Structures are given as C-alpha cells and as structure tokens.
Structure 1
Amino acid sequence: MLVLQNMKGDGPAYLAQWLAREGIAMDLRMALAGDALPADLSGHAALAVLGGEMSANDPLPELRATERLIALGFETGVPVIGHCLGGQLMARALGARVVASPLPEIGWQAIQMLPGAEREAWFGPEPTQHVMHWHNEAFELPAGAVCLGTNAACAVQAFAYGPHLGMQFHIEVNDEKLGRWSASRDPAYLRAQQSHPDTVHTGDVIRAGTVAFLQAQQRLADRVYARWWSARR
C-alpha cells in the first residue's frame, strides 16, 4: 500500500498504526525529501495521500507527480484516500478548483454529515462529527463526486468519487502529531488566531479538544480506512 507524504512534519501517524494493526505493508514515499515516486500503481493495492503546508496550486513538480498517481488510481480502480492537501490534490486531478477557504480552520471543528448511502458507508449514521482541521484553502466539489459533509466555514468537507474519498480534515492525527501541532508558534498561525478566533483555535483549545474528541475520531478513522481498503481489487 502506497502512502505519499508531502512534508516532514506530517507523517501517517494513526494511519500507520491502523495499517500495522491490520498487517498491511506500507510503502512510504516523500518526494520533497528526495524519494522517487513510482511510475505507476502496479504492485500497490491502494493509495493514501497526506497533508502539507504548501498550496495544492503551488508549481511544485512533486505535487504534479502526486496528481498523476492519483489520476492513475481513478483510471485503474486503485482506491485513493486524501487527507487535507491530499484531498485537494484529488479534487484538482478531477478538474475541480482549490481556492481560499471561506474561513480558515485550525482545530477541532464540527461538520454536519449530509444524508445518503455514500455518507453512511464512509462515516456512519451520526449526523455530526468533530474532526481535526488545519487548512487555509479548500476544494470545490468535483464533477461526478458526492459531497458528504459541510459546515459554515467550508461548504465541501469531504467527497466520495466511486471508491475514492477526499477529506478537508485530518483523521490520521494521533497524540504525538497533535502535541507538535498545538505547540506551533508559526507567526501566520498566531495571526490567524487573532483574526479568526472562532475557527482558528489556540494550542490550549486544541489540546482540550484532543481529550474530548480524539478517541472518537480514531474510531471514525478505523471505519473510514476499512471502507477504503475494502474497495481494492
């Protein structure tokens, strides 16, 4: 199973834990650190694309190579799952735009799950989920995709496209990753806390949300990853 990591501090975390628990071998590649990406997806049963602080629209050859592999997944039926930037690259590969999010989201945010069989197959029957976000841009809904969740800050929080799932949030986080993220002193993050206090949370608020919501999100991740993995041919 192929996992594409876009930046050093944004590894597979809980996804790696889930794969290890299920006995699934992980082929982890980070092109921006010099790892060669495969020419195709032969030999890989599924593809996961992680997040990153860059824009999906940045003219980086590594991002375009990732889009090419995503498009191959769509063409060949290899199930693709995208987390935040990964979901944005999926949307681009389907011809949708990635634009500035109406509001930035950093922290634990509630999303309203939309009715329908696709949403229940991926996320279960609960009408609301609290999930971890860190994004300033967002994808528009690709043609042929089904929107699965929404909130006031970001109209399309997740979409399904056949056996593929793009998410605007981070179901792969674990305690270690959240500890690092919540301790960030990045100036842009600190400014965003002041300009958007409702949707950009402080480190203390993120840590409190981790206590309240992480366990439930990891059970949700178990469901999502099992659904994604089960779609392989």
Structure 2
Amino acid sequence: MRINVLQHTPNEGPGAIQAWADERGHEFYVYHPYQFGSLPTAEETDLLVVLGGPMSPNDDLPWIKQERMLIKQLLAQHKPIFGACYGAQQIAKTLGYQIGKAPHKEVGWAPVYRQSTAVPGIPEKLDALHWHEEMFEVPDEAQLLFSSDLVKNQGFLLGDNVIGLQFHFEPLADNVREMAVNDDQYPLEHNDLHQTPQEIIDHGVPAENKRVMFSLLDFITK
C-alpha cells in the first residue's frame, strides 16, 4: 500500500502514523504542499493522510483548494482517508460543511469520549492532545466519533474508510516536544485548557494513544 501524507508545518509530523506504516510494511511518502506545492495524484494514493497545520480550510490559497480536489477524487473512489485537526476540517469542507471558530480554544491535554462503537477496541475515554481553535461540522452522512468536555465535534467516521479527528492521537513524545517548543506562544493565548508549553511536554503521551491510532488506521484500510 502507498500512503501519501500531506504535512502542513514542520512541527506537526506523522508520528505514530509512520510507525504504523513501517510496522505494516507500507510505502510512505510525505508531501509539503504549503512549501513546494506538490501533491500526489489519486491514482498513486492507496491511503491519504492529511495532517494538521496553522492554516484554515477557509484560507484562499490555491494549494488548499487543490487538496480538496484530491480529497473529492478519493472520496468518489472510496479510498481510505485520515485527517487530523486541519486535515479533518479539509475533509468536512470538501463535503460542503462549514469550518468556523470552536466555542473554546483547546491547546493541551484533555479527555475525549467515544461516541460510537463502530470502530472496535476504542476505550470510552482517552487523554488526547488538542491544538486548535476552529471546528468542523460533522457531515450529515457521517457519525460522531468523539467529543470533549468543551467541544462536541471532535471526530467523525464517514462510511468505513474515512476518519477525521479534531485532536491528535498521532504525536509521539518527540513530536509533542517539537510542537510545544516551536509553537510555544499558541498555548499561552486565550487557551481554555490553561496549560503552558512545559506542562504540555511534561504530561507525556499516554501509551494507549499509539495503539488507538493503529486501530483507527487498521479499520479504514481493512
């Protein structure tokens, strides 16, 4: 399987998603459209991963619109797609749903609660890393997958091959440190989770997050 990853900022990499691909023996390609403008074609994509970033799907940038064209093609071909944060918003926007300010800005660690049992083996409650202030509308044709205490729309499952998460299960410990030290002002600005960059680092990554990330990817690629 060829996995094509769209990365949108240097400090938000694939983390556990790459670990999953390596363990499963898949080919792994990382594109940086924000910097180089390059995107894979639908024909050469078996799984598309759309990572987070500081931009919004509402930004009027050619490469953002080109990403949605690719997502639309893959949706039509029923190929698996996983989106994290901005990536989940891009999927929802492709389907015609609004992206806007969330009722609360969440930056740091906070629990998310499972809202569907469609994906086997997901605990009822997980501690996830949040790094966002915008939110997607859950598509009518999808089901709500996760919610948090502050923001209801935290994840959705579309059919059996598309998952979008507003939060992050993919970061490993090194990824969290990289996010926190390079985007260190973001947690300090009107953050409703009231966590500093150092507190976010010191929290550590729950071991079960990597396992759940693997389960989600196994589910949409089965």
Same fold at TM > 0.5: yes
State the Cα distance separating 1:3 from its structure 2 match. Answer: 0.9
The correspondence of residues 123-138 of structure 1 with structure 2, limited to 5 A, is: 124-138=121-135
Quote the Cα distance in structure 1 between the aligned partners of 2:184 and 2:13.
Answer: 19
**Range with bigger deviation, 163-172 or 124-133:** 124-133
1:151 pairs with 2:143: no
Quote the Cα distance in structure 1 between the aligned partners of 2:37 and 2:186.
Answer: 29
State the Cα distance separating 1:147 from its structure 2 match. Answer: 0.5
- Tell me the residue number matched to 1:176: 174
Quote the Cα distance in structure 2 between the aligned partners of 1:14 and 1:125.
Answer: 16
- Tell me the residue number matched to 1:91: 92
C-alpha root-mean-square deviation of aligned residues, in Å? 1.7
The CA deviation string for residues 115-137 of structure 1, in whole angstroms up to 9 with x for no partner, is x442x43xx25211111110010
1:12 pairs with 2:14: yes
Number of residue pairs matched by the alignment: 219
Kindly indicate whether the alpha-carbon contact (under 8 Å) linking 2:184 and 2:197 is maintained by their aligned counterparts in 1.
no
**Going by fraction, where is helix more abundant, 1 or 2?**
1
**Range with bigger deviation, 84-93 or 21-30:** 21-30
State the Cα distance separating 1:35 from its structure 2 match. Answer: 4.5
Quote the Cα distance in structure 2 between the aligned partners of 1:99 and 1:13.
Answer: 27
* Equivalent AA in structure 2 for residue 206 of structure 1: I
State the Cα distance separating 1:189 from its structure 2 match. Answer: 3.2
Quote the Cα distance in structure 1 between the aligned partners of 2:182 and 2:127.
Answer: 21
* Equivalent AA in structure 1 for residue 188 of structure 2: L
Superposed structure 1 runs of 4+ greater than 6 Å apart: none
Kindly indicate whether the alpha-carbon contact (under 8 Å) linking 1:113 and 1:149 is maintained by their aligned counterparts in 2.
yes
Quote the Cα distance in structure 2 between the aligned partners of 1:188 and 1:74.
Answer: 33
State the Cα distance separating 1:209 from its structure 2 match. Answer: 2.2
Q: Find the partner of 1:201 among 192, 195, 208.
A: 195
Structure 2: stretches of 5+ with no match in the other structure: none
Corresponding residue SS for 1:18:
helix
Kindly indicate whether the alpha-carbon contact (under 8 Å) linking 1:79 and 1:228 is maintained by their aligned counterparts in 2.
yes
1:227 pairs with 2:219: yes
Kindly indicate whether the alpha-carbon contact (under 8 Å) linking 2:108 and 2:187 is maintained by their aligned counterparts in 1.
no
The CA deviation string for residues 67-110 of structure 1, in whole angstroms up to 9 with x for no partner, is 11111111001111101100000010111111101101111110
State the Cα distance separating 1:205 from its structure 2 match. Answer: 2.3
Corresponding residue SS for 1:183:
helix
Quote the Cα distance in structure 1 between the aligned partners of 2:117 and 2:200.
Answer: 32
Quote the Cα distance in structure 1 between the aligned partners of 2:134 and 2:178.
Answer: 21
Corresponding residue SS for 1:16:
helix
Query: Cα gap change, 1:111/1:228 in structure 2, threshold over 3 Å: closer, same or farther?
Result: same
Corresponding residue SS for 1:155:
coil
The correspondence of residues 60-99 of structure 1 with structure 2, limited to 5 A, is: 60-99=61-100
Query: Cα gap change, 1:113/1:190 in structure 2, threshold over 3 Å: closer, same or farther?
Result: same
Structure 1: stretches of 5+ with no match in the other structure: none
Kindly indicate whether the alpha-carbon contact (under 8 Å) linking 2:122 and 2:212 is maintained by their aligned counterparts in 1.
no
**Going by fraction, where is strand more abundant, 1 or 2?**
2
Quote the Cα distance in structure 2 between the aligned partners of 1:46 and 1:182.
Answer: 28
Quote the Cα distance in structure 1 between the aligned partners of 2:183 and 2:73.
Answer: 38
The CA deviation string for residues 130-179 of structure 1, in whole angstroms up to 9 with x for no partner, is 11110010101112110011123111110011110010011110111111
Identical-pair percentage: 26
* Equivalent AA in structure 2 for residue 154 of structure 1: V
Query: Cα gap change, 1:81/1:200 in structure 2, threshold over 3 Å: closer, same or farther?
Result: farther
